[in-house]
Amino acid sequence: MSDNYMPADHLVAMAHAAGIDISDLDVFVSCERGAMKHDGGLWPVVLSALGVVPAEILHVGDLADADGDIPARFGISAYVEDSMRRSHREPLNTAPSVLPLSRIEADNRDDAQGSRWDASMNLAQGALAVITAAQVQDVIAAARRSGAVGVHFTARDGENAKHVYDSLRERDTSLPPATYTAVSRSMMWRASLGAVTPETVRRFIGDDELLTASRVARRFGCSFGGAADASTVLAAEEARDLVLAHAAEVEEASAALRARLLQYLDAQGVTAPGHHVVMDLGWTGSVVADLAGIVMAERLGTTFEGRFTALYWDATATRSRIPVHGLALDEFGSMDDNVRLLGAMRYLELLLSATHGTVVDYLNGEAVLARDGQMTCLLDGDIDAMHAEIRRSALRILSGDHPHVGPEDLTRDTVWASIMQVAHTPSPDEVRLMSVARHDTALDHSGDGAALLRAAPDDLRLEDIPALQQSLLHDNWAQGSLEAWTADPASRWIADEVRRHATMMDRQWVGQ
8 A C-beta contact, residue 160 and residue 390: yes
pLDDT range class, residue 368, cuts 50, 70, 90: very high
Higher-confidence position of 332 and 109: 332
Cα–Cα distance for residue pair 462/484, rounded to 1 Å: 19
8 A C-beta contact, residue 277 and residue 284: no
**Angle of CA points 372, 375, 378, to nearest 5°:** 135
pLDDT score of 417: 97
Question: Which residue type occupies 251?
Answer: E
pLDDT score of 82: 74
Most confident segment among 100-104, 155-159, 332-336, 376-380: 332-336
Higher-confidence position of 316 and 52: 316
pLDDT range class, residue 91, cuts 50, 70, 90: confident
pLDDT score of 218: 86
Q: Which of 100-114, 142-156, 220-234 has the lowest mean pLDDT?
A: 220-234
**Angle of CA points 484, 351, 512, to nearest 5°:** 60
Provide, rounded to the nearest whole percent, the portion of the chain with pLDDT above 70: 92
**310: β partners:** 329
Question: Which residue type occupies 305?
Answer: E
Evaluated on CA atoms 68, 86, 413, 501, the torsion sign reads: positive
Domain boundaries, the chain: 8-123, 190-254, 453-512
Residues 11-40 pLDDT 10s: 788 789 889 999 988 877 665 555 566 777
Residues 232-262 pLDDT 10s: 889 999 999 999 999 999 999 999 999 999 9
pLDDT score of 3: 52
Higher-confidence position of 311 and 58: 311
pLDDT range class, residue 469, cuts 50, 70, 90: very high
User: In the 8-state DSSP scheme, what is residue 491?
Assistant: T
**Angle of CA points 280, 400, 398, to nearest 5°:** 5
pLDDT range class, residue 52, cuts 50, 70, 90: confident
pLDDT score of 31: 54
pLDDT score of 36: 62
Question: Measuring CA to CA, which residue among 296, 252, 289, 308 is closest to residue 272?
Answer: 296
324 has a pLDDT exceeding 80: yes
Question: Measuring CA to CA, which residue among 283, 308, 328 is closest to residue 97?
Answer: 328
CA distances from residue 491 to 402, 428, 482 in whole angstroms, order as listed:
42, 16, 9
Residues 414-443 pLDDT 10s: 999 999 999 999 999 999 999 999 887 666
pLDDT score of 223: 85
Q: How far apart are the first and last CA of the chain?
A: 24
pLDDT score of 84: 65
pLDDT score of 95: 87
456 has a pLDDT exceeding 70: yes
Cα–Cα distance for residue pair 444/46, rounded to 1 Å: 60
pLDDT range class, residue 226, cuts 50, 70, 90: low
Mean pLDDT to the nearest integer, 321-344: 97
pLDDT score of 228: 59
pLDDT score of 131: 98
pLDDT score of 286: 95
pTM for this prediction: 0.87
pLDDT score of 37: 67
Mean pLDDT to the nearest integer, 487-495: 96
**Over 254-276, what HEC string results?**
HHHHHHHHHHHHHHHCCCCCEEE
Cα–Cα distance for residue pair 470/490, rounded to 1 Å: 22
Mean pLDDT to the nearest integer, 364-381: 78
User: In the 8-state DSSP scheme, what is residue 50?
Assistant: H
Most confident segment among 88-92, 202-206, 298-302, 413-417: 413-417
pLDDT score of 307: 98
Q: What is the dihedral of CA 44, 509, 89, 32, to 10 degrees?
A: 10
pLDDT range class, residue 343, cuts 50, 70, 90: very high
Most confident segment among 101-110, 177-186, 213-222, 373-382: 177-186
375 has a pLDDT exceeding 70: no
**Mean pLDDT, rounded, of the chain:** 90
Residues 135-166 pLDDT 10s: 999 999 999 999 999 999 998 899 999 999 99
pLDDT score of 214: 87
pLDDT score of 178: 96
pLDDT score of 288: 97
What is the separation of C-alpha 259 from the centre of its chain, rounded to a whole number of angstroms?
A: 33
Cα–Cα distance for residue pair 455/300, rounded to 1 Å: 51
Cα–Cα distance for residue pair 512/510, rounded to 1 Å: 6
Residues in the chain: 512
pLDDT score of 32: 55
The helix or strand, by DSSP H or E, that contains position 304, with its residue range, turns out to be strand 302-310
Burial class (CB in 10 A: 0-12, 13-18, 19+), 95: middle
pLDDT score of 14: 79
pLDDT score of 254: 94
pLDDT score of 49: 80
